Structure formats: structure tokens, C-alpha cells
Structure 1
Amino acid sequence: MILKTTAKNWFTNYLCPTIDLLLGFVVSTENQIKGNIKHFEENKKGIVIDQGYPELEQYVTEYNGLTSDGWDLHSVFGEYYPSLHRRSAFLTLVGIFEHELDKLCEHCKEQFNLNDSLSDLSSRGLERSTEYLKQHVDIATHKNTRLWCDIKKIQILRNSFAHQDGKTFNDNGDIPQIIQHVKENSFLSIDDRSEVIINEGYLEYIRDTYFRYFELLNNSLQDKLKNA
């Protein structure tokens, strides 16, 4: 029999198994990236570009239609493409966590027989769900913690990837939260186009950061349930 998910068992019976599944997703993503890099190293080939004259012949490396006379192939296939792959996984992870926190708010509405719904609030994303938990469920949302600060930086970086190609600036100038986040996080770097590069380890960092923050929320929720 499948146990119904409630505010009381949401963390242990639902979120923790989901976190385990997301670890598998992260590992699978990184393994695919490593496989792609290995395929590049093993299948790149040297070719001759014939300019019509023997003295103008060029010896270049070619892979997947790109040649080393026009591209830094090691940078493209060893850094840029892997970062693009991780971008997609990054957006997926953050979207899942936002969805799961919305679901917690729905469970709380049912658990405590609340009249107001999450959709009644005008904000969006984690700001909306945490505000609902604070205002209507009346639990601490731990916004004075380092975890929340880190999540806010993750959210800002997510928005940059979604809307401006991961740039560290917008029309108003540099985005200090992104620049600071890169400086603080060894799994991020910035390339010569001022785009953030996601390196191996960052996806696991996201998973762990959200999990630990949700753990704090659950502790607050369980305290309220004990006193209800």
C-alpha cells in the first residue's frame, strides 16, 4: 500500500527518496559528459586542408564538423559543451526543488485546514512558497542562514542562464551576486565572454544545498506539528 504524502511525512517518505533519485540524475549527467569527452579524445582526427597549392596545405584536427583552425577544440568539447549540458541539468534541478516546495505548501494547507492557498500570493518561486509557510503555516523559514543566501545566489544564476546565456552582467551592469557566487564556489568559473562555466561538482552542490535547507524547514514544521 502506498502511504499518502502529508505535511508530517513529506520529508522522510517523499523528499528523501526524491533526493536519492536526483543523485542518480546528477551521476548520470556527469557520466554522460565524461563519455562525450572520452569520445572526443579517442575520435578526433588529423586532416589536411588543401588550399590548391602544396605549400599552403594545413594540418588541422577535426571532430564533429569543427576544425582546430577555427576553434579551440579542447575548450569546446572539454569545457563549453559540458557546461551547456550541466546548464540543462541545473535548470531541471532547481525547477524540481521549486515544485516540491510548492507541493509542501499544498500538504500544509490540507494538514492545518487553511483557507488561503499558495496561488493567493502574488510572488513566485521559492519566495512565494517560503512566504506562504511563514505567513499561513507560521513556521520559521530560516532566511537568516547561509543556506538561504546560497539558494538566492543559485536562483539569480538560474535566471541568468534562462534569460541571458549565463552572463555575469545585464543592461544595468555587473550582477554582484553572481560574481560573488563564482568567487565563493570552486565548481564555477567565468570564461573570456563573461559567461559562467559550470564544472563537475556544482550539480551535487545544488542538490545538497537545497536538501539541507529543506531539512531546516522540515524541522520547523515538525516542531509545529508537535505543538498543534
Structure 2
Amino acid sequence: MAKLDFIFSVHMCALSESISVMRMLAEQAEKNVALALKEAEDLIKEHKHEEEAYDQYGESYVRQRTFYSCGASIDYDHDEVLLTHKFMIAQLTRRSAFLTMFGLFEHRMSQCLEFMLELTGFEGKLKGMGPIEKAHDMLKKVIGGKGITDLDHLTVIRNVMAHNDGTAKGYSEISTRIGRKNTWEKRVLSAIRKTEGVGVSVNFFDGVLMDERFLEYAADDFQRYVEEMEAAVQRYHAKYGSESSKNRRKGWLSRIKEHWFVKMFAYYFSNLSSALQNR
């Protein structure tokens, strides 16, 4: 099979490196969670405050009450404070790690999408909101990767974490509703069902929770996708090698022309501004 050139190798090397970074993030996040949970008991602080109370005769008096705090958790119940703190630490640490992993992958995929567009010379419209969704549409529509399973479940989880504070609003109602569901509702249901066996669950308040398995699973699924994408692009190049090389050269020339035009426009504008100032 004919191998692609240096540019594609650079993109794939960067993607592979990002997967290694993701695995490091996942491992470190779980270590941080384990350490924080271990130290949580020692971090609880006891406080006292005065409050007005009433005896059995309706007479008021001042009494002292004890309450506890740990991080952002405050309550009169010691055990409740401890449980809430542990919960928040675990979920926020995993959420932060996953959002970083997803952002890194999205950045690398935008570069791969640009390369695939140059490789094929495709100028049509691609479905999707971001580079990951558009790259997948490109793989299916042009490259020939129709058998590649998408990453929509991870995209949905990411959106829930980033935009809804980890809450899949209305999930309890949606999951039991027999009637019609809109596109977003179908995506949420599919995402939860695909990931509930690998570390994702939904609580009574529609909060999407991650356990110790999810980050590793996400890194594995990103890697699976990268390998399948690379194989599909290699097959495309082996089949349309000469034509794809022409398209790629055309893309480079277009970028060179665009860069030259921008530089010349900036040079002209700079000289014009200087001339006007000297008048």
C-alpha cells in the first residue's frame, strides 16, 4: 500500500501523542481523586454559631449549634459534609480531565480535517457543528469510512459537562417517555446507554456521573477512532493516489496565494497610512 507523505505522518504523530497525553491525564486524575478521598476526613472543620431557640413555654433563649465544613460543603451533619465533599471532588476532577482530553482531541482533529479536505479536493458542505463531527462526515461521505463508529456519545457527554454543569436536563422523563423524541433527546439517550457500562451513570436529579472507568474508556475510544481513520485515509490514498496529490498541491498553492495576498495588502495599507500621516 502506498504510504502518505510527511504532512499526514506529522498529523498522525500529533494525534498519537495526544492519546498518550490523555492516558496520562486519566491516570493522574484518578490518583488525585484517590488521594483527595483519603485526606477528606482530616480536612473537615468544626464550627459553632449562636442562634435563637424557644423552649416548651415559648420563651426564647440563645444556644450554640455545631456545624461542619469541607471545601464547598457545609452542613450540620458531619457525615453528610464528608460524603458531599468526596462526591464533588471525584466528579469535578474527572470532569475537568475529560474536558481537557476532548479539547485536545478536537484540536488535532481540526488539523486532520483540513488535511483530508486538501487530499480529496472536496468543496461540498459537511454536516456537524465542530471539527470532530465534520471530520466524521468527511470520512463517511468522501474517504470511504462508512463502517467507522462515530464519537457522538463522547461529544454529547462533553456538551452536558461543559454547558449544563453535568446535568442531562429532563433525562428521567425522556428515558421513560413512550412518545416521540427530538434529535437532541435521542442523542442524549444513545450517549448514556453507550457509556453506562463503562463508567457513566445518571442520578435521581439527572446528574451525569463518572466513575473510575470512564476516563480510560474515553482514551481507548479516541485511540480506536484514530486508528480507523488512519486506515481509511490510507486506503483512499492507495486508490486515488495521483489525483489526491494534485488536490493537495492545489491546496498548498491556494494557501500560498492567500498568504501572499494578505502580506501585500498589509504592506500596501501600511505604506498608505504612512503617506497620509506625512502629508
C-alpha contact 2:127 2:134 (8 A) present in aligned 1: yes
Q: Once the 2 structures are TM-superposed, how far is the Cα of residue 106 of structure 1 from its aligned partner?
A: 1.8
TM-score, length of structure 2 as denominator length? 0.64
Say if 1:27 and 1:183 are closer, same or farther in 2 by CA, change over 3 A. Answer: closer
* 1:95 maps onto 2:103 in alignment: yes
C-alpha contact 2:139 2:232 (8 A) present in aligned 1: no
Say if 1:226 and 1:121 are closer, same or farther in 2 by CA, change over 3 A. Answer: closer
Q: Which whole-Å CA distance do the structure 2 matches of 1:62 and 1:101 have between them?
A: 43
Gaps of 5+ in 2: 54-60, 175-184, 242-279
Letter in 2 for 1:42: D
Q: Which whole-Å CA distance do the structure 1 matches of 2:204 and 2:17 have between them?
A: 40
Say if 1:182 and 1:204 are closer, same or farther in 2 by CA, change over 3 A. Answer: closer
Measured against aligned partners, the alpha-carbon deviations of 1:77-128 in whole angstroms (never above 9, x if no partner) come to 2112321222222222222222222211222344x362638xx536322221
Q: Which whole-Å CA distance do the structure 1 matches of 2:30 and 2:111 have between them?
A: 28
- Specify the SS of the correspondent of 2:123: coil
Letter in 1 for 2:228: L
Match runs of 1:71-110 below 5 Å: 72-110=80-118
Paired position in structure 1 for 2:8: 7
Letter in 2 for 1:35: L
C-alpha contact 2:109 2:135 (8 A) present in aligned 1: yes
Gaps of 5+ in 1: none
C-alpha contact 2:192 2:200 (8 A) present in aligned 1: no
Deviates more, 1:200-209 or 1:30-39: 30-39
Match runs of 1:1-228 below 5 Å: 6-8=7-9, 10-11=11-12, 13-51=13-51, 57-64=64-71, 66-69=73-76, 72-110=80-118, 112=119, 114=121, 116=123, 121=126, 123-125=128-130, 126-136=132-142, 138-143=143-148, 145=149, 148=150, 151-170=151-170, 173-174=173-174, 175=185, 176-181=189-194, 183-185=196-198, 187-227=199-239, 228=241
Q: Which whole-Å CA distance do the structure 1 matches of 2:171 and 2:26 have between them?
A: 33
Q: Which whole-Å CA distance do the structure 1 matches of 2:145 and 2:7 have between them?
A: 19
C-alpha contact 1:156 1:177 (8 A) present in aligned 2: no
| RMSD over equivalenced CA pairs, Å | 3.2
Quote the sequence identity (%). 21
Letter in 2 for 1:224: Y
Measured against aligned partners, the alpha-carbon deviations of 1:184-225 in whole angstroms (never above 9, x if no partner) come to 33x122233220111222111111111111111111112223
Paired position in structure 1 for 2:246: none
TM-score, length of structure 1 as denominator length? 0.76
Q: Once the 2 structures are TM-superposed, how far is the Cα of residue 60 of structure 1 from its aligned partner?
A: 4.3
- Specify the SS of the correspondent of 1:62: strand
Say if 1:194 and 1:97 are closer, same or farther in 2 by CA, change over 3 A. Answer: same
C-alpha contact 1:157 1:178 (8 A) present in aligned 2: yes
C-alpha contact 1:23 1:204 (8 A) present in aligned 2: yes
Letter in 2 for 1:24: M
Structure number with larger C-alpha Rg: 2
Q: Once the 2 structures are TM-superposed, how far is the Cα of residue 29 of structure 1 from its aligned partner?
A: 2.4
Q: Which whole-Å CA distance do the structure 2 matches of 1:219 and 1:170 have between them?
A: 39
C-alpha contact 1:80 1:197 (8 A) present in aligned 2: no
